[in-house]
Amino acid sequence: MLINLVFILGGFIVIAGGFCVFFDQAVLTRRGTIYRVKTDRKRVALTFDDGPSPVWTPKILDELKKADIKATFFMIGHHVQKYPEVARRVAQEGHTLGNHGYAHSVLLYYTLPEIEEEIKYTEYVIRETTGCTTRIFRPPKAWLSRSIKKKIKAMGYDIILWSLNSKDWVSFNHKHIVRYLVRRVRNGDILLFHDSGDVLTTEGGSRNQTVKAISLLARTLREKGFEFVSVEELMYG
């Protein structure tokens, strides 16, 4: 009986893991958010979630500087408090900062007043640390209800999701990541990467393939006539 239970649980974990890898849950919650911008211009925005990381964010910043790309970083408030010097470097190098909540908790578990408190506190942490005010918000794991969307918009935030998910947290080879994105990219796409975490956590893990992907993606998309801009420039530029 115990052996059967172990096999059943193991099978469930495999199925759940496969679902997370091959299905993008943001598809279910995109309505009423910004996940791609309609434009005739060949522009895309690179975004990075879950940082800052003392290990991977600096490496990603180095690669972005070499490639002359300004990206958008959706930061977790707790990580900003823990690694303030890294958060400040992101801002100082001209990248856009976004609010990703304080603890990367799924908002569906919160009341609306609790959501407002968390977003405002994260905004306070980012502003006090970097001097930057953020008006864009990305919900952890993209899970949102209609009432939560309404609440966040009433607070003055644009809700930013994504149209292309690199799945870099699965640690695919960087060439696979770039090939997957290049085959699907369209004008106005918002691309999702991560500068911290792995499959189960928002810290630790390896973003080595993400670091390697940046220069190859930049070169390949520029050869196709694309330019890289921040989310806000994509929206309003």
| 84-107 confidence digits (pLDDT tens) | 999 999 999 999 999 999 999 999
Q: Residue 188 corresponds to which tokens in the numbers above?
A: 């106005």
**Mean pLDDT across 183-202:** 92
Distance of CA 230 to the CA centre of its chain: 13
Establish whether 49 is a catalytic residue. yes
C-alpha distances (whole Å) from 154 to each of 33, 185, 227 are: 13, 31, 32
Letter for the amino acid at 31? R
* Domain, as residue range, for 125: 36-236
The pLDDT-based confidence of 204 (bands split at 50, 70, 90) is: confident
Residue 179 included in any domain: yes
pLDDT at 154 > cutoff 50 = yes
How far is the C-alpha of 194 from the C-alpha of 201, rounded, in Å?
12
Q: Residue 176 corresponds to which tokens in the numbers above?
A: 């696979």
**Mean pLDDT across 143-152:** 97
Residue 148 included in any domain: yes
Residue 1 included in any domain: no
Residue 4 included in any domain: no
Average pLDDT of the residues of the chain: 91
pLDDT at 11 > cutoff 50 = no
Sequence-distant (6+) residues with CB within 8 A of 12 are none
The pLDDT-based confidence of 3 (bands split at 50, 70, 90) is: low
Residue 205 included in any domain: yes
Residue 26 included in any domain: no
Residue 12 included in any domain: no
How many residues make up the chain in this entry? 237
pLDDT at 39 > cutoff 80 = yes
pLDDT at 69 > cutoff 80 = yes
Task: Give the active site residue among 79, 95, 174, 194.
Answer: 194
The radius of gyration of the chain from alpha carbons, rounded to an integer in Å, stands at: 18
Residue 194 included in any domain: yes
Write down the pLDDT at residue 10: 41
Q: pLDDT (tens digit, 9 = 90+) per residue, 188-197? A: 999 999 999 8
Three-state DSSP state, 19? helix
Among the residue ranges 6-20, 179-193, 194-208, the one predicted with the least confidence is 6-20
Three-state DSSP state, 189? strand
Task: Give the active site residue among 40, 49, 95, 158.
Answer: 49
Write down the pLDDT at residue 169: 87
Tokens 């911008």: give the residue.
37
**Mean pLDDT across 16-30:** 67
Short-list 162, 167, 169, CA closest to 202: 169
Write down the pLDDT at residue 24: 84
Q: Residue 220 corresponds to which tokens in the numbers above?
A: 């390949």
The tally of domains found in the chain comes to 1
How far is the C-alpha of 96 from the C-alpha of 149, rounded, in Å?
22
Instruction: Give the domain CATH number at 211.
Output: 3.20.20.370
Write down the pLDDT at residue 175: 97
Q: Residue 180 corresponds to which tokens in the numbers above?
A: 């997957």
Write down the pLDDT at residue 22: 55
Per the omega criterion (within 30 degrees of 0), is the bond before 54 cis?
A: no
Among the residue ranges 13-17, 78-82, 129-133, 168-172, the one predicted with the least confidence is 13-17
How far is the C-alpha of 100 from the C-alpha of 105, rounded, in Å?
10
